[in-house]
Amino acid sequence: MGLCPLHPDHKPSFLLDPNSNLFYCYGCGRGGDVIRFAELYYGVPFREAIAVLRRWYGMSSLLGDVTSFYQVQLHRHPEAVAYLEDRGLHRPKLIEELRIGYAPGRCLRAWLMSLGYPLEYLQQAGLVTPEGFDTLAHRIVFPLEGNLYGRSIGNAAPHRFLPGSKGGLYGWEKVRACPKIILVEGLFDLAVLRQAGFPNVTCSIGTYLNGTQMQQLCDGAARTVYVAFDSDSNGSGQRAARQLAQRLWTHRLEVFPVDLPEGHDPNSFFVHGGGDAPQFQALLERARS
């Protein structure tokens, strides 16, 4: 019991239950959940109160908690580990370094609410559906810059993000000082290349680079960029690589599209195409010729 912050109070009348995130004031008679408190305290409507709570809790803190939870779940679900094996990821150190996790579904909400996050906040962030289920259920999860990426291991749509931007180039701070950079479109492409001994790889998560990603590549540093997009049977990946190369050439970057065997992306090149590190290195060198 304490003094109520919602009205002039000289006698403790404000009761807060931290376990349920509920409050009630015996002096002014107002009560509710944490969202209602933000509405009353700041004098704002529901949507603005949610925005206030975002600032209170911090989106980065929330995503950090989600990432840690999904990392633990990965090792509890053999089907998720088997999927990573099928995609060529078998080094625990790399999986830990990339903070890869798994969303089994139905259990994230209870965990986060036990940490004090209100259900409405989790739904507003896009982590929990209106029905209370995990948005990324049955997906391998990669943490991004201010977002999460989920890759379905079942029959659902393969790719899913939380609301908001996909952010900058994946792992950019680790590669920005490299004189030569390999740019791929998928996170599993990046993972197998890191595993094969190519630490200078980054990922655009798709063939279209947003403004942030273009600014990162075109920051004035002298660098060579190898664009290793998917070699699709319809030629879309190759066209996207060459279009991007033309955009980057205007910024005086040295850019080389990499031609993979038809039907392969960097991941399948190693996993199903029988490729190895020397062969991939040869593709990079061939791109320069």
Least confident of 28-42, 97-111, 146-160, 194-208: 28-42
Residue-level pLDDT at 56: 65
Q: Do 178 and 245 lie in a common domain?
A: yes
Q: Could you report the per-residue pLDDT of 34-56, keeping only the tens digit for each?
A: 888 888 888 888 867 776 666 66
DSSP one-letter string for 149-192: EEEESSSS-SEEE-SS---SSBTHHHHTT-SEEEEES-HHHHHH
Q: Do 180 and 284 lie in a common domain?
A: yes
Residue 81 sits in a domain of what CATH number?
A: 3.90.980.10
Q: Do 266 and 189 lie in a common domain?
A: yes
Domain boundary among 102, 127, 161: 161
Residue 22 sits in a domain of what CATH number?
A: 3.90.580.10
Q: What is the CA radius of gyration of the chain?
A: 24
Q: Is residue 231 part of a domain?
A: yes
Distance CA 154, CA 139 (A): 8
Domain boundary among 161, 182, 201: 161
**Residue of 210, 207, 201, 217 lying closest to 252 (CA atoms):** 217
Q: Is residue 7 part of a domain?
A: no
- Residue 5's beta-bridge partner residues? none
Q: Do 181 and 284 lie in a common domain?
A: yes
- Count: domains in the chain: 3
Q: Do 269 and 194 lie in a common domain?
A: yes
The first and second tokens of residue 136, run together, are 């990324």
Q: Across all residues in the chain, what is the average pLDDT?
A: 91
Q: Do 40 and 76 lie in a common domain?
A: no
Q: Do 51 and 98 lie in a common domain?
A: no
Q: Is residue 99 part of a domain?
A: yes
The first and second tokens of residue 56, run together, are 């209170």
Q: Do 51 and 76 lie in a common domain?
A: no
Residue 214 sits in a domain of what CATH number?
A: 3.40.1360.10
Q: Is residue 5 part of a domain?
A: no
Q: Is residue 4 part of a domain?
A: no
Q: Could you report the per-residue pLDDT of 51-85, keeping only the tens digit for each?
A: 666 666 667 788 999 999 999 999 999 999 999 99
Residue-level pLDDT at 128: 94
Q: Could you report the per-residue pLDDT of 202-256, keeping only the tens digit for each?
A: 999 999 999 999 999 999 999 999 999 999 888 899 999 999 999 999 998 999 9
Residue-level pLDDT at 48: 73
pLDDT above 90 covers what percent of the chain?
Answer: 70
Question: pTM here?
Answer: 0.79
Q: Do 183 and 252 lie in a common domain?
A: yes
Q: Is residue 6 part of a domain?
A: no
DSSP 8-state class, residue 16: E
Q: Is residue 167 part of a domain?
A: no
Q: CA 260, 262, 268 angle in degrees (round to 5)?
A: 65
Domain boundary among 6, 35, 57: 57
Q: Is residue 83 part of a domain?
A: yes
More confident residue, 119 or 254: 254
Q: Do 87 and 107 lie in a common domain?
A: yes
Q: Which domain holds residue 198?
A: 172-288
Q: Do 149 and 176 lie in a common domain?
A: no
Q: Do 111 and 188 lie in a common domain?
A: no
